[in-house]
Structure formats: C-alpha cells, structure tokens
Amino acid sequence: MMLAKHIISRRLIPCAGFSSTFSEDAFRTWTARKGIIVSPKVRVHSFGPDNRGLLALAEFTKGEPLLRAPRSAILLLDDVAPSAQGYTEFACAFAAFFLSGTTEWKTYVDSFPSTVNSFPAFFGPRERAMLGGTVVMDSVKQQEQRVAEDYAKFCAGAAKHPAGSFQDFLKLAVLVKSRCFNVLESRLNGIPTMVPFADMLNHSPAAKASWFYSTKMGEFRVEADERIKPGEEVCINYGADKPNSIFLSVYGFVPAGNHVNDEIPFDLTGGLDIVTSDILRQKIKLTAKPSECDAYLMSYLRVVDSLNAKAGESSAHLLEDYELSDHKIPPVSRENEAQALRRLKSFCESRLARFPSSPLDEDVCAEGRDRSLLAYVNGERLLYKRYQQFAETGLRGLETGEIVDGEKDTKKFAKYFAGLQFLLKSKR
C-alpha cells in the first residue's frame, strides 16, 4: 500500500527470503481458490520501482464492486494470534506464522514488495539523522524493540533453526503492518486484518473507491464511489485525517499537503511530582487543528496541576468536574492557568531542543524522499513552535492582564483566548 502517483525515490535493496518475482495470473488463481472475487476490469500495474497498484481496464460505475472477499479468505488478528493486541503484535505474529514454514500463504507473501527502503525502520544513518528528535523516530525505535523481542521468542520456540533472519522477520512485520485494514466486526472493534489483492490499492486523497466489511454478508468489499474511467488508477483513502507521522512510519511516505492533519503525542508522565492517576494515561495530542484540541489539552493541564502534591486540596474538585464534564473544564484561576501554560511551554521547549535551531531548507535536497522527510521534520517542528508561542501569549496575558488582539496566535486559538479574557476580567 503506497501513495498513488507520488513515488518516493529510493535505493532498491531487497531482503533475503522473499521472492522478487510476481505473477498476477498465479496470484489471481490463488485468490480465486480462496473465494476472493476480483473484477476482470482491474489489473495489477507497476507505477514505479516495486510499487504496484490497480489499474482500471474498463469503466466502473458508482456502486460497482471491484473486489469481494469472504470472511474465510481474510486474516484477522484472532486467526493468527488471539492474545495479540495492536498492529505491531499482529504483524509479528504473522511473520512468525509465515516463517514457521507454512506454505498456504506463500503466494500471497510473494505479492509483497521485495524492497523496503521507503520505511523508516530500514533507513540508513543519514536519513535517520534527518528524523532525529521526531515522534516518527521514537515510534520506529519502539517498533524495532518490540519486533526484536518477538523474534527472540520466535527463535526460542522454533523446533529447528529459524527459516528467516531477523531482517526477514522485521521486513515481513513492517510490510504486514503497512498492508493492514482496520476491520470492524460485531464483537471486535478495530481489528488488524489482511485482505489479499485489496492491499494492493494505493492511497489518494481524491480516491474514487472505498472498502467496508459487512458483518451481515460476512465479506470484505471494495466498491467504486463514483465513475472510474479506463486507464485510471483505482485508489482508496487510507484515512482522511491521519497525521503525517502515521503515514511515514506505517506506510513509508508523506502525502503532499497533509500538514493540516499533523499531530504530536503530548506526554507529561516524566519528571512530575504527581500522584498516580488514570488521568496521566490519557492520549492527549497537539494538533494542527487547535480549535479541536485546545479545550481538551488545557482541561487536561488544569487537572494535572490539581493532582500535584503541592497543590493540596485547593483544586482537588477539578478532578470530579473533569469527569462530569466530558473532560472539558474552563479556566479556574490565574495561578492554575499559569501553571498549565508553563507546563505546555516547557514541554514544547524540551522537544524543540532536539531539532536544529532553524528549519531545514527543503529546496537544497535533490532527491524527492529527502524533501519529503525534511517537509515532515519541519512540519513537526512548526507544531511545537506554534504551541510554544500559544503558551507564551497566554502567560503574557496573565501577567499584563489583557490579551492583545494583534498577538500572533490569538486567531489560531481564538476559542481559548476568549475564555482567558473572561478569566482576566474575573477576580480569581
């Protein structure tokens, strides 16, 4: 699964243990035996070095099926590792399952790319240095550690010498994770699922096809959402609101113009004098859409201050209010608000310290992938900078007693600063 018509240039370095040849006829025969019905109007097409996708040979009308796969022909998490949780565990379980010697899914695995250089897990030192300090590199390191642990378990449990090396295991795990669909079934929510042939569909923000899983019919379907002309690539949208960090770490590319969906995990669990609480386990994010998150972010920070051992009981009521108001509470006092903003400012400053002091010049990079990586790095850096300035504006307002309309971030965070103006007018 890749970005349609936006191929990222890369060196072609295959890993051992996987076929570099692919026969569409053999693959269609295999999928047909599984009960998967693929329209004869689509064919596999090469759009670049080892980047396959599906091309329409004839016109598709709205609602016309491109692919139908029965439940028995797809692999859900329960089929491979019932106790596993999440995509990385599922991917590692599939890698162990395949490298244990099963031949049933070999034709399917042969349809995977034979090179993986577009994925950060296989970047060289220079490219890793470009991503140093980003949440993508943090995610990749966590993934590598998890895969290494699962590979060690796989080797320990193997009756004989494993059929694949760690590089083979890692490659298969990375590719499986990139090809998973998030299928919803009646008793399970968000199950990692492998669907042969359907996972060749590339991404486009202007996709003309979409997929769904019907529990009533017991099948996975891909249908045309509008007319698809002969000669057009058939694409789906991997997620209209997915952030670039997910696109790069999971799929190996950064869509152009997707910075509107940038987001960064916000973590305060380190270095705080705070009582243990489920509050800290919440997934809070900084996003490029501040109007959607600033209320939750600031409410979270206000409650964090109430949990601080030094705060005593003066703001302990915030915890109850937080739970009763769907995790949204207004400013409660100048002291509490200032502490919340200082925490946010400190977090952003600590993350910015991991980046170069000024944005990297994307224009000096000759290769398309380098430009994509630098665009991602600069986008993440800009997001930290934006929230740092937001916190500084709020702190300045608390100090002077007013929010100046001309301040740089008052428009981006208009809803928050309107609430802060109300606080400044009060005596709290």
Among candidate residues 175, 147, 165, the one with its CA nearest the CA of residue 99: 165
pLDDT at res. 312? 47
Give the end of a domain, one of 183, 209, 240: 240
**Whether residue 290 has pLDDT greater than 90:** no
Concatenate the DSSP letters of all residues of 132-194 into one string: TTSHHHHHHHHHHHHHHHHHHHHHHH-SSS-SS-HHHHHHHHHHHHHH-EEEEETTEEEEEEE
Among candidate residues 102, 98, 195, 77, the one with its CA nearest the CA of residue 151: 98
Does any domain span residue 255?
A: no
pLDDT at res. 29? 95
Give the end of a domain, one of 181, 208, 240: 240
Q: Which residue has the higher pLDDT, 23 or 332?
A: 23
- How many independent structural domains does the chain possess? 2
Two tokens, residue 33 = 């035996």
pLDDT at res. 228? 97
Query: Which residues does 264 contact at the CB level (< 8 Å), separation at least 6?
Result: 135, 245, 285, 286, 287, 351, 380, 383, 384
**Whether residue 347 has pLDDT greater than 50:** yes
Rounded CA-CA distance 134/128 in Å is 10
Count of C-beta atoms within a 10 Å radius of residue 9 = 15
Rounded CA-CA distance 426/335 in Å is 13
Specify whether 218 is located in the same domain as 278.
no
**Whether residue 32 has pLDDT greater than 80:** yes
Specify whether 89 is located in the same domain as 207.
yes
Q: Which residue has the higher pLDDT, 318 or 235?
A: 235
pLDDT at res. 259? 77
C-alpha torsion sign, points 78, 83, 86, 90: negative
Specify whether 121 is located in the same domain as 201.
yes
Rounded CA-CA distance 283/98 in Å is 34
Specify whether 201 is located in the same domain as 321.
no
Q: Which residue has the higher pLDDT, 289 or 242?
A: 242
Query: Which residues does 383 contact at the CB level (< 8 Å), separation at least 6?
Result: 262, 263, 264, 286, 287, 288
**Whether residue 163 has pLDDT greater than 70:** no
Does any domain span residue 131?
A: yes
Does any domain span residue 12?
A: no
Rounded CA-CA distance 334/427 in Å is 9
Contact 99, 155 (CB under 8 A): no
pLDDT at res. 117? 87
Specify whether 267 is located in the same domain as 309.
yes
Q: Residues 167-186: what's their mean pLDDT? A: 85
Specify whether 232 is located in the same domain as 270.
no
pLDDT 10s digits, 119-150: 999 999 988 888 888 989 988 999 999 999 99
pLDDT 10s digits, 228-248: 999 999 999 998 788 889 999
Does any domain span residue 6?
A: no
pLDDT at res. 220? 93
Residue % of the chain over a pLDDT of 90: 29
pLDDT at res. 292? 59
pLDDT 10s digits, 367-396: 567 777 888 888 898 889 988 988 998 898
- Window from 9-13, 191-195, 405-409 with minimum mean pLDDT: 9-13
Specify whether 81 is located in the same domain as 184.
yes
For residue 302, which phi and psi values (nearest 5 degrees)?
A: -65, -40
Dihedral, CA of residue 335, residue 339, residue 344 and residue 348, to nearest 10:
120
Q: Residues 33-57: what's their mean pLDDT? A: 90
**Domain containing 338: what range?**
263-425
Does any domain span residue 78?
A: yes
Q: Residues 97-101: what's their mean pLDDT? A: 81
Long-range contacts of 193-196 (CB under 8 A, 24+ apart): 193/74, 193/75, 193/76, 193/77, 193/220, 194/74, 194/75, 194/94, 194/108, 195/69, 195/74, 195/220, 196/27, 196/30, 196/31, 196/34, 196/36, 196/69, 196/73, 196/74, 196/108, 196/111
Q: Which residue has the higher pLDDT, 73 or 421?
A: 73
Does any domain span residue 57?
A: yes
Q: Residues 402-426: what's their mean pLDDT? A: 61
Specify whether 274 is located in the same domain as 415.
yes
Residue 334's pLDDT band (boundaries 50, 70, 90)?
confident
Specify whether 97 is located in the same domain as 131.
yes
Q: Residues 296-306: what's their mean pLDDT? A: 79
Specify whether 221 is located in the same domain as 347.
no
Three-state DSSP at 238 gives coil
Cα→Cα distances 357→143, 351, 392, Å: 28, 12, 18
Q: What average pLDDT is seen over the chain?
A: 79
pLDDT 10s digits, 187-199: 445 788 899 999 9
Q: Which residue has the higher pLDDT, 384 or 336?
A: 384
Does any domain span residue 2?
A: no
Q: Which residue has the higher pLDDT, 265 or 260?
A: 265
Specify whether 202 is located in the same domain as 271.
no
Q: Which residue has the higher pLDDT, 1 or 243?
A: 243
The CATH number covering residue 37 comes to 3.90.1410.10
Does any domain span residue 153?
A: yes
Specify whether 381 is located in the same domain as 418.
yes
Q: Residues 249-273: what's their mean pLDDT? A: 76
pTM: 0.82
pLDDT at res. 14? 37
Residue 278's pLDDT band (boundaries 50, 70, 90)?
low
Two tokens, residue 234 = 């058939």
**Whether residue 414 has pLDDT greater than 50:** yes
The CATH number covering residue 308 comes to 3.90.1420
Give the end of a domain, one of 240, 271, 292: 240
Cα→Cα distances 150→112, 116, 374, Å: 21, 20, 32
Residue % of the chain over a pLDDT of 70: 73
